[in-house]
Structure 1
Amino acid sequence: MAALAVGTTLLSACGSGGSSDGGAPASAAPKPGGTLTFAVGSDIGCVDPQQVGSNDTVYSTRQLVDSLTDQDPDTGKIVPWLARSWEISADAKSFTFHLKPGVTFSDGTPLTAQVVKDNFEAIPKLGALAQLGAGYLGGYAGSKVIDDQTIEIDFQQSNAQFLQATSTFSLGIVSEASVKKTPQARCSDGVIGSGPFVLSKYVPSQSISLTKRTGYTWGSSLFTKSGDAYLDALEFKVVPEAGVRTSSLQSGQVDAIGAVAQADEAALEGSGAQLQARANPGVPFGLSFNNSKAPYTDPNVRKAIGLAIDRQQIVDTVFPTGTKPATSILSHTTPSYVDLSSSLTFDKAKAGSLLDAAGWKLGADGIRQKDGAPLSLTITWFANAATNQPAMELVQQQLKAVGVQVELKQLQIAQITQILTGADFDVLWGNLTRADPDILRSQYSTKGLNAYKIPVTELDTVLAQQAAEPDATKRAALVERAQRLVVDNAYVVPVVELETELGVGKNVHDLKFEASSRIQLHDTWKS
């Protein structure tokens, strides 16, 4: 990172932004009005963007808040949003932001440096649901209000990842009134933001309704349209069944759907719907072990399970067209990704040999045993994506082929925090999206939640060093080391990268992905 950065900072290319083209002629002008109805598969049970992480909920709550900066999905460049410019100290310990004048929250109160300070001091106190934002603010030393429009944010050590973090929904800015509410009230009642839409109604597990904010003149520098959004309203309906979501889009009952599965692609294209896809940066879908529970304390058992996974078969059978097998603990669109595919191969024979060496011998029923106990594990997964169940069933078959008995445990995504904080699992299936490699620290440092009970090792040191390293080349080398440590020790078995695929009606235009492959609806319109 440069010693001084004003206005923009180039991070790394993160893939294609992409947007829906719709069926309008090239000469058709965007028109305002209408309601966009979007069907998602789940509801995490919270409508505070600082406390959510599931894509299905982020799609809606992202529209409520603005961030200090934005990140270009095509180049990775950090560009102005609520902050018109900024400076970073040479040691990346101090970040000074100059706010745009005239910004207000939907309750009419102004955006000031004091409000930003109060947000950043409140986020680490929100609890387990806000672990993403709290991680981004690790080492926070305090903020200085220089004047109403200028704030200096200081850290105890160099914090190379922080500028990109200011572009995320997790650090989206809410009003002073929202800051003062309890975490539970913020989840159930929502928050007051400065974004292009305002929460009008939330019915848990059913719908999230938003209306257009009028007088909105401070949009991201990446927005095509100045001023108010085109759409009058957004309606996010929770439709757990993938087939029902697909048929609803085909019939015109909804305008867009999330989490399109491979099996539904042909039917959607045949009905004239658009398929819009973008690879998510961050940690790919994988099997995360509870490293404190036997037999996952044995690295040979963890490695054998990884060797028994045929990633390409899972991709080809289950996931949307264009999906890639995982080739590291970071997806290939993440800055500083390193290809470790040679360490993530499919080798049944070697898997069997490792299990034999660990004392797990094949029994007459085809299941391995040791000291009279079967080699049995439970994989916990969440019903928030159509691909999860078929992927898990295929993993179950692949592991049985090497003598591992697998039970599948389905939960609702609203239960994820309880599972993570209580470490109440054998193996967990999931992923996490962020367009910065510091996602590894959020997930695998023992200094944080450490949901996967990884032991204290060199990995902690490397993760802390990469977060603090202001030199881009040196930081990339540390990120590479961190990836190798996670993969070589098989704390997690990366399986498949997340390719976010949406089904979009032909009358919907300019529905755009942002840098983390979530959606931005300010520029979206209907014909």
Structure 2
Amino acid sequence: MPQQILKLPLVGTMNLATLDPVRDHGYNETLVMNMLYSGLVRTDKNLNVIPDQATWQLSADSKMYTFTFRSHVAFSDGTPITAQSYVSTWTRALLLATTSSAAFSLLSPILGADDVHSGKAQTLAGVKALNDSTLQVTLTKPASYFLASLTNPLFFPLNQKLVARYGRDNWPQSQVEVGLGSGPFILKMWQPTVQLIFVPNPHYYGRKAALTMVVASFVNDPRVAFKLNGVGQTDLVWNITPDDQLAARSSAGFMSTPLLQTDMLFANTTKPPFDSQAVRQAFARAIDRRALISSAFNDALVPSATLLPPTLPGYQANEQAASYDAAQARSLLRSAYPDLARFPAITFSYPAGQVSDQEATTLQSQWQGTLGVQIHVHAIEPNAYQQEMQDHVIQLGFYALHTDVSDPYAFFSPFLSSSGHSNSLWHDTKFEQIVAQAEEKTGEQRFVLYQQAEIRMLDQAAIMPLDHQTLAAIIPAWVHGVTLNGSGLYFGDWSDVVMLRH
């Protein structure tokens, strides 16, 4: 048996911003947190929610979850994890919600979350420790997506010994700390800008890791990471750029999968010409997505006319989604504007850096060539673009919807009037009713309702999906137990990760 040490690159960073799950964190921080921490539930390879520290029962009114802990669940210093560990952790997260853009949003379904967040209460009414091994969580209304939310590190229990030592507002940074979390590994060494070294957690309650060590090296530039892997400095590589994918596709172990991100266009539906559904449909039908992805991304993304990505539980192919049809696009536009000379000027705005000039000009060319209208393109500095979206001054723009929660609700909720995040200002009462009904259902019934909601949204061209971002990697066969899913690299609980002879 070869040495059980995995050399893993942390691509796109030179250090970790935080190890505090309540703080805003990026992909590399999330990857590391899932090694050091664990929670009530986790996801399987297909992003379905499965038990981890606990099993659960749901009340008849779908508003109360009762979690029963498995035996011998402990932090990495041996301190037992109890239901009170969760009460304290989730309350802390709400009290510190101003440090995280996601904290209050994720915790808000819980009864009493508003009161803690606003300072009216110091205890979270909807979370109760019935005894050491039973946690009861009460929601304000049915929210079937709540279980999937619990896979976010924000919900992972924190060792209250460390909270007492460092204070509520602080958390150990850039140092090795015993008892940090309850995941399959502990951090043995942290060398900023160089590497992290992990070894198995001796108190882990799950199946033990076969690996004796994980050496995670910081590699800021994805192109450098690709070259280092090519000369054997790492055992796998991920986040391969579209340019490098041209060479990587011929490598053994190359794989690519759509992520939980949809890139889309939106138009201000309250002002001409995009207050006309026919005009929005015309612009959607005039987009040749395959040609766009080929020309601007070397076929490294997945062209799509649907909101939900194919790696999301509940995804169903939508044959009714607006696909490229030049003749129908022209017909739709002329149904609203028989005299194109009266068609107003159009400006397509996009965040510089997030959308390439090539992608913008390709879209411009497709619209102008198919519809016979003049399109101006305007690149805006990202922060200024974000402000213009919030001010609803963008006529036709770009929006990337990404979520860490593997549930359809995360993709539909931004378009509810209650969210305040609808860039297009589109509102449809029937759509909102369908989403509300879906959250009162479970299983296949729920997914069918979400498909109806998606069809309604796309029929009205409330958005114009372009593609799903992908993650490309080279994971050789001798690195057993590692693959990709919609959330990125997938290691499961790490117990199946084994270095095979090669």
Distance (Å, rounded) in 1 between the aligned partners of 2:56 and 2:299: 40
Distance (Å, rounded) in 1 between the aligned partners of 2:228 and 2:339: 50
C-alpha displacement of 1:140: 1.2
Task: State the match for 1:195 in structure 2.
Answer: 183
Distance (Å, rounded) in 2 between the aligned partners of 1:409 and 1:47: 33
What is the DSSP-based 3-state SS (H/G/I as helix, E as strand, rest coil) of the residue aligned with 2:143?
coil
Task: State the match for 1:3 in structure 2.
Answer: none
Task: State the match for 2:347 in structure 1.
Answer: 376
Matches within 5 A, 1:91-490: 91-106=61-76, 109-124=79-94, 126-127=96-97, 130=100, 132=102, 134-141=104-111, 142-176=126-160, 192-198=180-186, 201=190, 209=196, 211-219=198-206, 226-227=208-209, 229-239=211-221, 242-268=222-248, 272=251, 274-280=253-259, 282=260, 284-289=262-267, 299-317=277-295, 324-352=302-330, 354-355=332-333, 370=344, 374-380=345-351, 391-392=359-360, 394-401=362-369, 402=371, 403-409=374-380, 411=382, 427-433=397-403, 434-450=405-421, 452=423, 454-458=425-429, 459-470=431-442, 472-490=443-461
What is the DSSP-based 3-state SS (H/G/I as helix, E as strand, rest coil) of the residue aligned with 2:84?
helix
Amino acid at match of 1:274: G
Distance (Å, rounded) in 2 between the aligned partners of 1:61 and 1:292: 43
C-alpha displacement of 1:30: 5.9
Identity %: 20
Higher relative contact order (CA 8 A, sep 6+): 1
Task: State the match for 1:69 in structure 2.
Answer: 41
Distance (Å, rounded) in 2 between the aligned partners of 1:410 and 1:509: 43
- Asked whether the 8 Å contact 2:195–2:215 carries over to 1, the reply is no
What is the DSSP-based 3-state SS (H/G/I as helix, E as strand, rest coil) of the residue aligned with 2:320?
helix
What is the DSSP-based 3-state SS (H/G/I as helix, E as strand, rest coil) of the residue aligned with 2:432?
helix
Distance (Å, rounded) in 2 between the aligned partners of 1:125 and 1:289: 37
Distance (Å, rounded) in 2 between the aligned partners of 1:441 and 1:504: 33
C-alpha displacement of 1:334: 2.8
Distance (Å, rounded) in 2 between the aligned partners of 1:305 and 1:233: 49
Amino acid at match of 1:237: V
Q: CA 1:304–1:212 in 2, change beyond 3 Å: closer, same or farther?
A: farther
- Asked whether the 8 Å contact 1:175–1:193 carries over to 2, the reply is yes
CA RMSD across the alignment: 4.3
Stretches of structure 1 lacking an aligned partner (at least 5 in a row): 1-28, 220-224
TM-score, length basis structure 2: 0.77
What is the DSSP-based 3-state SS (H/G/I as helix, E as strand, rest coil) of the residue aligned with 1:476?
helix
Task: State the match for 1:19 in structure 2.
Answer: none
- Asked whether the 8 Å contact 1:257–1:503 carries over to 2, the reply is yes
- Asked whether the 8 Å contact 1:135–1:442 carries over to 2, the reply is no
Distance (Å, rounded) in 1 between the aligned partners of 2:353 and 2:487: 21
Stretches of structure 2 lacking an aligned partner (at least 5 in a row): 112-125
What is the DSSP-based 3-state SS (H/G/I as helix, E as strand, rest coil) of the residue aligned with 1:469?
coil
- Asked whether the 8 Å contact 1:197–1:210 carries over to 2, the reply is no
What is the DSSP-based 3-state SS (H/G/I as helix, E as strand, rest coil) of the residue aligned with 1:252?
coil
Distance (Å, rounded) in 2 between the aligned partners of 1:439 and 1:189: 32
Write the deviation string for residues 270-293 of structure 1: whole angstroms up to 9, x where unpaired: 5x552123333x453322456678
Q: CA 1:212–1:152 in 2, change beyond 3 Å: closer, same or farther?
A: same
Query: More deviation in 106-115 or 351-360?
Result: 351-360
- Residue correspondences, number: 473
